[in-house]
């Protein structure tokens, strides 16, 4: 591990030197790629340097104690330094193991979120709206930007389906665990007898994919335009601005009608389509690597029930890691970090175990 870390530190210094080279600065693409690499290496190198400092302090204390001849007070101080340095070195070593785990190449990407009402009719649509609000508030709390790409609402204020993009640093690294079936248990407003109903909503988290990452043959696309439905006044009836794109080889269909411009809707629909095809290819690759699948949470089958939101008890349960929290209100108001942090910790632990097997 230490040899690998030394090589990483050398590469970090090499990249730092290149970033000061005028020829690199003038090459936007090269400069952008090197800056990204430098930024990704920084936490690892800083932790490695902290580890080296702690080890040096530990060695210095050990040598002083071995020399002997210390007065009582100074010996106690050196002993204290030795214990502190030892603990710090051990802590840094554990953190370095986590930082050295293979990184998901999509972690730094923006995400496209798709929410669809499942079983439960209007109640599922209303909960889909609650989840959209939850993710919106979480994103706003982290300083991320939200852009709605397509939305199909119900008359009672629910959402049949919605696609939106979240732009922000590390968005995919935290939200990727949200993919799956979210189950809600609550008394619907329309239920006079006060019985608790169970409904489901499906969430899909797709990393935003650049044109260069996945090639789509224009000949494989069927593009239809039609008049948008929903709010929009006279524009809805007069302009064929909504776009539906079908990828014929896979049968993937994407619709976008939120913009007044047909060009903008087509551009947004293509973004969603690229991400969907990319995700499909990823799932096929993951299915072939069973050991990796065991150590992952949140990137599995969309039909997997991942979480239950129980309103009468104010309880949230994440079934993948057995986490139960009794603060449903704050979670639905965007306070998701405790849940996501627990999922990240679980996945890191499983990957460390897999490395040791």
Q: Are residues 80 and 26 in the same domain?
A: yes
- Do 242 and 150 touch, CB atoms closer than 8 A? no
Structure confidence at residue 295 (pLDDT) = 46
What whole-number percentage of the chain has pLDDT above 70? 88
Could you tell me if residue 151 is inside a domain? yes
Instruction: Please give the pLDDT value at position 291.
Output: 45
pLDDT tens sequence across 94-135: 889 888 888 888 888 899 999 999 888 889 999 999 999 999
CA angle at 166 for the pair 162 and 169, rounded to the nearest 5°: 165
In this structure, the answer to whether residues 242 and 132 fall within a common structural domain is no
DSSP E strand stretches across the chain: 111-117, 145-153, 159-167, 180-186, 197-207, 221-226, 242-247, 252-256, 305-310, 315-318, 323-325
Domain closes at, from 262, 284, 306: 284
Same domain as 299, residue 267: no
Over residues 258-267, the pLDDT tens digits come to 767 787 888 8
Q: Are residues 141 and 272 in the same domain?
A: no
Does 104 reside within a domain? no
Spatial distance between the Cα atoms of 284 and 281, rounded to a whole number of angstroms: 5
Are 198 and 242 contained in the same domain? no
Q: Is the pLDDT of residue 53 over 80?
A: yes
Given a cut of 60, is residue 292 above it in pLDDT?
no
First CA to last CA across the chain, in angstroms? 17
Report if residue 225 sits inside a domain. yes
Counted residue by residue, the chain has a size of 357
Q: What is the CATH number of the domain that holds 199?
A: 3.30.70.1660
117 with 95, same domain: the answer is no
- Interval 168-192 mean pLDDT: 88
Say yes or no to pLDDT of 196 above 60: yes
In a domain, 106, yes or no: no
Same structural domain, 53 and 91: yes
pLDDT at 267: 83
Same domain membership, residue 235 and residue 169: no
Of 99, 131, 165, the domain-final residue: 99
Mean pLDDT of the chain: 85
Predicted confidence at residue 172, as pLDDT, reads: 93
b/e burial code for range 329-352 (CB count within 10 A of at least 16 → b): eebbebbbeebbebbbebbeeebe
Asked if residue 160 is part of any domain, the answer here is yes
180 in the same domain as 58: no
Separation CA 144–CA 133 (nearest Å) = 14
Domain tally, the chain: 3
CATH of the domain at 275: 3.30.160.20
Question: Do 203 and 294 lie in a common domain?
Answer: yes
Beta bridge partners of 183: 200, 308
Residue 33 Cα distances to 15, 37, 38, angstroms: 10, 6, 9
Parent domain of 253: 218-284
pLDDT at 299 exceeding the cut of 50 = no
- Rounded to two decimals, the pTM is 0.75
Tokens of 85: 């340095």
Pick the last residue of a domain from 99, 130, 154: 99
What is the structure's pLDDT at 13?
93
Mark whether 201 and 301 lie in a shared domain: yes
* 134 in any annotated domain: yes
- Asked if 31 and 93 sit in the same domain, the reply is yes
């Amino acid at each position: 591990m230490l040899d690998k870390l030394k090589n990483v530190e050398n590469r970090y210094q090499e990249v730092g030197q290149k970033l000061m080279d005028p020829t690199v600065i003038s090459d936007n693409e090269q400069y952008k790629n090197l800056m990204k690499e430098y930024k990704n290496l920084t936490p690892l190198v800083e932790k490695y340097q902290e580890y080296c400092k702690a080890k040096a302090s530990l060695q210095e204390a050990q040598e002083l104690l071995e020399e002997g001849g210390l007065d009582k007070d100074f010996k106690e101080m050196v002993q204290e330094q030795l214990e502190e340095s030892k603990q710090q070195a051990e802590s840094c070593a554990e953190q370095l193991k986590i930082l050295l785990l293979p990184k998901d190449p999509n972690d730094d990407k923006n995400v496209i979120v798709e929410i669809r009402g499942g079983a439960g009719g209007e109640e599922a649509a209303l909960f889909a709206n609650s989840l959209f609000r939850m993710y919106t508030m979480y994103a706003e709390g982290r300083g991320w930007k939200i852009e709605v790409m397509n939305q199909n609402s119900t008359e009672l204020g629910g959402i049949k389906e919605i696609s939106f993009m979240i732009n922000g640093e590390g968005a995919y690294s935290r939200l990727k665990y949200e993919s799956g079936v979210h189950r809600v248990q609550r008394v619907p407003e329309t239920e006079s007898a006060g019985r608790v109903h169970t409904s489901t909503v499906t969430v899909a988290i797709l990393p935003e994919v650049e044109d260069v990452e996945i090639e789509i043959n224009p000949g494989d696309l069927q593009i239809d335009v039609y008049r948008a439905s929903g709010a929009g006044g006279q524009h809805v009836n007069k302009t064929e601005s909504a776009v539906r794109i079908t990828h014929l080889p896979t049968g993937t269909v994407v619709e976008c009608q939120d913009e007044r411009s047909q060009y903008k809707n087509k551009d947004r629909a293509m973004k969603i389509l690229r991400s969907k095809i990319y995700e499909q290819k990823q799932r096929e690759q993951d299915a072939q690597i069973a050991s990796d699948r065991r150590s992952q949470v949140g990137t599995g089958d969309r039909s997997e029930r991942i979480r239950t939101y129980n309103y009468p008890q104010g309880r949230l349960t994440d079934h993948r890691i057995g986490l139960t929290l009794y603060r449903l209100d704050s979670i639905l108001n965007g306070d998701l970090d405790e849940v996501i942090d627990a999922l990240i910790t679980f996945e890191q632990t499983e990957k460390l175990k897999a490395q040791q097997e």
